[in-house]
Structure 1
């Protein structure tokens, strides 16, 4: 069932916002929900442009960040260095996630979510649809939180850059000085006069900030939507197992259908974990460093410019704990299936049905997990561990500051 096609015709609510953000960011590879050929060709050109330009943009940012760190005579302040480091870490994670979400096996997982959600709405079971819509509502709220915090973080960074640019230009006019104009992203410009073409670089920075904002939101929200799909299906299985004795159909047919659904969601989680476990490991290792670098900005920044690091730290906190919470929910709901079967009228069934139910209970004792690479499971404790590591990094950096 995981090997599904790439075509979807229904606007399913669970992945609707991530789909729009992925289209805006130029990383949507599945068919567009439009019939206009010109729009499709235009989007293809835009997607290829983004796919080529942003790795170059990231490489330029990396080179400039490295050169600045190695330059002992650099005029950059410590907080500016930490700011560029935190931006590079964020964009590196986003670039890796972008590549991941365009792989064929991941696209098949997204297609599977679409198809299963369509089946839920076609089933006509009100209690199942209501349970799923409740999960959709939670998913939408989580995605909106990510979108709002990312929007505020990106907006304050752009506005702060323009304010600093205005202050520098004002100082240069009043004192006949030639201080360099600040940029949001300090890029390596080989044989390119950055001061002479500062306006062009500012437009490039603004465009990159907007598109990367969409890339951040889309890669996070599609990830959260795929994860939240699992507790939704598991909750529906719990409802169906509890109602097993009330169905009029043959109990063996119902039980076989429920066992097959349980096996499908197990395969889905295994496939999803195989695809994203090293991305989770990368985020686990780098997010603590990113939070620490941003915290240093907050501590050492000009008090007039605190909005940017505050919203950026909040953005990182929100992403980390939504991921940890949802990964933990997958584990909890997979274990709850055994309790749901025990709550069903299993004692009224035949011996063959009882043995089959016992097999499902034994299988449900092994929780479904999203792991941090090949290591431990991602849970709320893992999110707290990232924050504890960030505190340790901040303490170490401040002692050397």
Structure 2
């Protein structure tokens, strides 16, 4: 039984489409198509990396001018710079293996003998897709405001007889030529780079978060299977045309243990891929958000709305990241509780002993790490927000 409308890549159906647009998806093209696809990614990614370097140069220049000038550059720059690392990780062999592991497991789930398993899986996917759409709406709204603001300023200046010779751009970045004299060239360069920047910010973050939500869904399925072991084991045997015997119950339990080990392995693989970028996010998010708040306090009008939208989008992805990390931590422990809530007292002695081993392992939760700093949990998110307040107090004292 396949989820309606999606015969494959159901969970990653959105991700597969938008990651292909950026050249990040591990496509199965061959020959000329594969060469063109790889070349497209390399050229576009190199262009984006060069643009991020010009932003960092501009940030270094503005740091010597004033805190306000520095704040106007560094907020978006940090977001773009982090995306460079995320894109590199997604293209790595380790992350491609994670994608293939999810694809293989999804094929098994969509052919499941139990409709409840498919329903849990679909529910998790619907939630993930809703988040992606909400996050996309905020990112596109903020990006559109950033793109439109310089053009609106230009129109206002053309109607003003004493117009300024300085022109506004989408974001601050360094150019090896006079940006005011060659304004539309500078704007076009930024527009193309920011299109990719917006794509990297949304696509890489949404895709990584959808994988975390996938893990939560797998843990929920494990909890369901262990809690309803008697009923699910009967369905398993009926689907396999096996007799309901103690030996076949043991076979089903061994299958569940293997699934549990696959969940643990998946978390370990994702952790190995993302722990560096999560550590970087944890380290710079508070500073980035503090810079955005500082901008909001010193801006007005159209630009303030654009910065506020970007501020909200950044907060949404942070909350979803740490909430899912928290869910993975507690759902992995919930497997032991699910076994306890089952009718384990009716199981044969050997099955009970095997269940106890699963409970012992489940009491050691699987977790995502912020490098050596701790775990991806709600408490870590609170630390980020506390640091924002500290940064703002520091900025207030340095003015």
Normalised by the length of structure 1, the TM-score is: 0.90
> Where does the alignment leave 5 or more consecutive residues of structure 2 unmatched?
1-5, 238-247
Question: Is structure 2 residue 70 aligned with structure 1 residue 81?
Answer: yes
For structure 1, which segment, 16-25 or 112-121, has the greater mean C-alpha deviation from structure 2 after superposition? 16-25
Going from structure 1 to structure 2, the CA distance change for 1:304 and 1:263 (only over 3 Å counts) comes to closer
Aligned CA RMSD, in angstroms, stands at 2.0
Aligned residue number for residue 188 of structure 1: 174
Partner in structure 2 of residue 146 of structure 1:
135
- Provide the rounded CA distance (Å) in 2 between the counterparts of 1:366 and 1:290: 34
Tell me the residue number matched to 2:366.
368
Once residues 91 and 131 of structure 1 are traced to their aligned partners in structure 2, the CA distance between those partners, rounded to angstroms, is 35
Distance 2:173 2:369 in 1: 35
Q: Distance in 2 between matches of 1:132 and 1:289?
A: 37
| Secondary structure of 1:52's aligned partner | helix
Is 1:64 matched up with 2:58? yes
Decide whether the 8 Å contact of 1:21 with 1:217 is kept in 2. no
Deviations 1:56-93 (A, max 9, x none): 111121112212323x4xxxx75443121111111111
CA distance in 2, matches of 1:68, 1:305: 19
Report the Cα offset of residue 166 of structure 1. 3.2
Q: 1:51 to 1:306 in 2, by over 3 A?
A: closer
| Secondary structure class of the residue paired with 1:123 | coil
For residue 389 of structure 2, give the secondary structure of its aligned residue in structure 1: helix
Matching residue of 2:204: 219
Aligned residues, how many? 381
Question: What are the equivalent positions in structure 2 for 1:195-210 lying under 5 Å apart?
Answer: 195-210=180-195
Alignment of 1:293-332 (within 5 A): 293-332=291-330
List per-residue Cα deviations over 1:344-369 (Å, max 9, x = no partner). Answer: 22212222211111010000101111
Q: Map 1:2-401 onto structure 2 (within 5 A).
A: 11-31=8-28, 42-70=36-64, 72=65, 78-171=67-160, 174-175=161-162, 179-190=165-176, 192-246=177-231, 247-248=233-234, 249=237, 250-401=248-399
**What TM-score do you get using the length of structure 2 for normalisation?**
0.90
Structure 1 window deviating more from structure 2 (374-383 vs 290-299): it is: 374-383
The answer to whether the 8 A contact 1:18-1:217 is kept is no
User: Contact 1:227–1:327 (CA<8 Å) still a contact in 2?
Assistant: yes
Separation in 1, partners of 2:337, 2:396: 50
- Counterpart position of 2:240: none
Q: What SS is found at the alignment partner of 2:290?
A: helix
SS at structure 2 position matched to 1:31 = coil
Instruction: State how far apart, in whole Å, the 2-side matches of 1:306 and 1:60 are.
Output: 24
Would you identify which runs of 4 or more consecutive aligned residues in structure 1 move more than 4 Å? Answer: 37-42, 168-171
Q: Deviations over 1:172-203 (max 9, x none)?
A: xx12x66221212333223x332332211111
Per the alignment, in what secondary structure is the counterpart of residue 257 of structure 2? helix
Mapped partners of 2:260, 2:286: distance in 1? 35
CA-to-partner distance for each residue in 1:199-249, whole Å, 9 max, x for gaps?
111111111111111111111111111111111111111121122223333
CA shift for structure 1 position 164: 2.7
Structure 1 SS opposite 2:17: helix
Q: How far apart, in 1, do the equivalents of 2:277 and 2:302 lie?
A: 36
